[in-house]
Structures are given as C-alpha cells and as structure tokens.
Amino acid sequence: MRLNIVLMLLITALLLGGNLDTFAETSKYVSVCGKDKTIIKWIQENKDGKIYLTTIQSDERHEYIIGKGYKTESWKLCNQISNTDLTISLDNGTYSISGKFKGKLISTSVKSKGKPWYQNIAYSASHILVKTTSIEYECFRPDNIKLYTMSATKKNIENFDGMKAIRIEVCLTGFMSVFWKCNYYFDAQTKYFVGYRGVNDGPGTPETKIIVLR
C-alpha cells in the first residue's frame, strides 16, 4: 500500500514537471509512553546528493542533513518551549556547536571519538547494517548535548505491529551496555523504520512504543 502511494506521487510529480531529486516524502508515527500519546512526523527530501530529514514531535523539531554512507553532516534542534535553537555540524573530526540550548547561548567544539555520526539511528540503521551485523557510532543526547558512543546490532526478523520487521538493538558501549538498551524495527522488505520499543528515562519510567500511524 505504501509503495503504491509513493509511486502514484512520483508519477504525479513527473506529469506536473516536478524534479524527482527534490521529491519530499512524509511519514507519520504514533508514540505512546504511559498515558502520553503524541504524533511524530517525518519529512524526507533528497537534494544535491544529500538527504534532508525533518522530524517533528509536539513542540520539538529536528533537522538533519545526511550525506554519503547515511552519515550525519549536521543536526539542528529547535524547541520554543525550552528556548532551544541549536545547530551541530561535523568537519574534519570536530563538532561545532552553536546556538541556544535551554535559554543559554552556546558556542563550542567537541572532538569526535573516531566513530561515524548517526544522529538519527532510526533512519540510518537499516541501511548501514545491510552487509554487517553490528556497528559502533556517535550521537548527541538531545537532553544534555553530550556526545556518546553507541552500538547497534542487527537481530532477528520478528513480528512487530502486524508485519515482518528486522529488529536492531541499540545500547551504550562498554560496561554501560548493561544499564540501558532499546529496539528499533524496520520493514523486512523496504527497510523503512516502522517502530521502536524502549525506556527513555530513569527507573520507573514507562516503556515508549512507536508504531506507524495508520
């Protein structure tokens, strides 16, 4: 069904004289944590050989520029409620961080730990784990803007939300791996992100589950 819709939109874009390189695709998900339920919107646009991905959930907006090998080149985090408008970019092994985070102005740099940067692993994981089963990567936590090294490991194909899905387990590296882990799910055929399960905060926090909005 989803593939047919995408093909129809592509044909329409061509008939109207559109450019496939700048075709934007939108996906919607439902995130449930305890009694809280929110909608997540993804907007993907391919332009100039790069992927421009925007995700929106409640008052928070993330903008990613994704380059060769699905590696993140820059990430912008915006949230008017928390007074945040922050941009991080990577160049020659150094992250440049600038803008406002929770009302405080920031202008600093952080050295890469030598791992690839996949800030949105929900988008990148199924693509980068095609020929390998496990990778280590870097990402920043949105709540504290600290750089962490993570591990993503491809597991089994399982039933998830009524479909066959590849489960990819993500956790911290080293001894910290025993304290937290979560699972991302991807359609076994299309490799699209279709869901998530994991506890995102401290002990006693309900599990968060994300599924495709139908």
> 48 in a domain, yes or no?
yes
Position 131 confidence tier, pLDDT thresholds 50, 70, 90: confident
Q: How many angstroms separate the CA atoms of 1 and 98, rounded?
A: 42
Q: How many angstroms separate the CA atoms of 114 and 133, rounded?
A: 19
State residue 176's pLDDT score.
Answer: 65
State residue 178's pLDDT score.
Answer: 67
In sign, the C-alpha dihedral spanning 2, 5, 49, 29 is negative
pLDDT of 11 strictly over 50: no
Per-chain mean pLDDT for the chain: 89
The CATH number of residue 79's host domain is: 2.50.20
> 168 in a domain, yes or no?
yes
> 108 in a domain, yes or no?
yes
pLDDT in tens, 167-191: 999 999 976 666 789 999 999 999 9
> 92 in a domain, yes or no?
yes
In order of 1, 25, 55, 190, the CA distances from 9 in angstroms are 13, 9, 21, 17
Give Cα 184 to chain centroid, integer Å.
10
Q: How many domains does the chain have?
A: 1
